[in-house]
Amino acid sequence: MSEMYTLAEATMQVIQDRRSIRDYTDEPISEDDLKMILEAARQAPSGENAQPWRFVIVRDPEARQRLGAIAAGGSGRRFTAEFVTKKMHDRFAGLQDEAKRKAVFDKLTSGNVSAFLANAPLSIVVCGKKDVWDMPYDTSAAIENMLLMVTGLGLGACWVIAPCIDMRDEERLKDLLHVPEGFKVISIVAVGHPTRPHRPRPRMALDELVFDEEWGNPYYEEEA
Amino acid sequence: MSAKNISLEYANSIMYDLQKAFWDERGKGARFRVTTVGREYFRDKGLAQLKADSVAEIVDGIGNILKDEGIVADVVHEQDDRLLRLTVHGCLHRDIERRFVAKGVEPFTCVPANLVVMALEEALEHPVELAEIKVENGSCELLLVLFDTRQTP
């Protein structure tokens, strides 16, 4: 890093550089890098300092195939349901190019959009202890910390909920990884070395997001 | 008070509040967290042992049990390739759907549908997704999608 950054600038740079990366090289993630990622997670805030997060590291190729299959199965079911009810057509109404539209629909309804999990050299399965008050929020903070550290390390990651959003799939995952009843599978963070740079995805402007004292009063003037 | 004497209005209002709490907490994702609702009943009634070789037999079997139990008046089905349409007439829980529709929220769970899904997955090993619940003319129109093979281990 040749430029000089203040701490705030460096922090913002990492936040802005983060992408959801789904294509990885075969290069493994080093133990040193993994430890940095997990340390970042460990430092996340949690209600009552409960630290309800637990992590299952999956590198085994066969297990990764099964994670990919569960993720693809769940995504395929959900997106096909969205397709047959035409909700998907509404969601992508702005996509006019027929060929691109078909490609997107095929990728979603086939479940291939989530099958990439099988190709990630490393998956961190994030579990949360149920017997605490704020587990979903605590574990989400830990996940975001991991994603930022991944970015800082020059690696790529994707926060994947597809294999555990449906109760049925979460149960399959828990069976596969022997996660006990007192814990919930929150998400999987797939990590690898990106095959290529990714462009940023669009973000809503602050004037659409922030209100002044009460809901509906824009805090910021509309951006030009 | 025996279980048979519990007021339906009371039971449905409690079930509505529970579902609404899920909706308020999880939004659109709530539907995926209630796909196993009805499982205890499914097991207690031995529905996993339902002998059937076809989708039609499964739906009829579940429908007949629900009719015998007085939970629904009738379940009619129609299959078009991988789309399975169920019309549930006279369901005891229809008032829950009515309350959601009145709030502008699309109903997102249905116990009869879940039972059919569980039976299909159990007996025929078809993964199934409940795609839509519509309340039409006092009945529930359910759209389910059948998948050919089990995609998950």
Per-residue pLDDT tens over the stretch B7-64: 999 999 999 999 999 999 999 999 999 999 999 999 998 887 788 889 999 999 999 9
Question: A41 to chain B nearest CA, in Å?
Answer: 24
Return the closest-CA partner of residue B131 out of A106, A83, A169, A109.
A83
For residue B50, what pLDDT is reported?
81
For chains A and B, CB pairs below 8 A equal 58
Q: Which two tokens stand for residue B17?
A: 């509040």
For residue B138, what pLDDT is reported?
86
The C-alpha atoms of residue B4 and residue A37 are separated, in whole angstroms, by 56
Please answer yes or no on whether A172 and B152 come within 8 Å at the CB atom. Answer: yes
B153 in any annotated domain? no
Question: A152 to chain B nearest CA, in Å?
Answer: 31
- Which residue from B128, B143, B152 is facing A169, i.e. has the nearest CB? B152
B3 in any annotated domain? no
Please answer yes or no on whether B32 and A167 come within 8 Å at the CB atom. Answer: yes
Handedness of CA A9, A10, A13, A18 (dihedral sign): negative
Mean pLDDT of B113-122: 94
- Which residue from A85, A171, A172 is facing B132, i.e. has the nearest CB? A85
Alpha-helical segments (H) within chain A: 7-17, 31-42, 61-84, 87-91, 98-109, 112-115, 135-152, 167-177, 206-209
State whether ipTM is beyond 0.95: no
Tell me what percent of chain A is helix, strand and coil, each rounded to the nearest 5. Answer: 50, 15, 35
Per-residue pLDDT tens for B69-83? 999 999 999 999 999
Instruction: Map B2-51 to HEC letters.
Output: CHHHCCHHHHHHHHHHHHHHHHHHHHHHHHHHCCCCCHHHHHHCCHHHCC
For residue A190, the surrounding DSSP H or E stretch is strand A183-192
Mean pLDDT of B88-106: 96
B57 in any annotated domain? yes
The C-alpha atoms of residue A105 and residue A112 are separated, in whole angstroms, by 10
Give contacts of A 16-55 with B, CB under 8 A.
Answer: none
Question: B106 to chain A nearest CA, in Å?
Answer: 13
**Quick count: other Cβ atoms within 10 Å of Cβ A32?**
9
B151 in any annotated domain? no
Q: Is pLDDT above 70 for B150?
A: no
Q: Is pLDDT above 60 for B2?
A: no
Closest residue in B to A109 (Cα) is B147
Question: A110 to chain B nearest CA, in Å?
Answer: 10
Does B33 contact A at CB distance below 8 Å? Answer: yes
- Which residue from B29, B83, B147 is facing A77, i.e. has the nearest CB? B147
B2 in any annotated domain? no
Structural domain tally of chain B? 1
Does B46 contact A at CB distance below 8 Å? Answer: no
- Which residue from B35, B132, B145 is facing A167, i.e. has the nearest CB? B35
B50 in any annotated domain? yes
Q: Is pLDDT above 90 for B6?
A: no
The C-alpha atoms of residue B99 and residue B102 are separated, in whole angstroms, by 5
**Quick count: other Cβ atoms within 10 Å of Cβ A180?**
10
Please answer yes or no on whether B153 and A70 come within 8 Å at the CB atom. Answer: yes
Pick the residue of A84, A117, A170 with the most B CBs within 10 A to test the interface with B by mutation: A84
B137 in any annotated domain? yes
B1 in any annotated domain? no
Please answer yes or no on whether A167 and B130 come within 8 Å at the CB atom. Answer: no
Please answer yes or no on whether A76 and B35 come within 8 Å at the CB atom. Answer: no
Give contacts of B 67-96 with A, CB under 8 A.
Answer: 83
Q: Say which CATH number the domain at B17 has.
A: 3.30.1380
Q: Are A162 and A205 in contact (CB under 8 A)?
A: no
Q: pLDDT > 90: what percent of chain B?
A: 81
For residue A2, what pLDDT is reported?
60
For residue B124, what pLDDT is reported?
86
Containing domain of residue B140, as a range?
Answer: 8-146
Does B129 contact A at CB distance below 8 Å? Answer: yes
For the entire predicted model, the pTM comes to 0.93
Per-residue pLDDT tens for A125-144? 999 999 999 999 999 999 99
Question: B20 to chain A nearest CA, in Å?
Answer: 18
Question: A38 to chain B nearest CA, in Å?
Answer: 27
Residues of chain A with pLDDT under 70: 1-2, 223-224
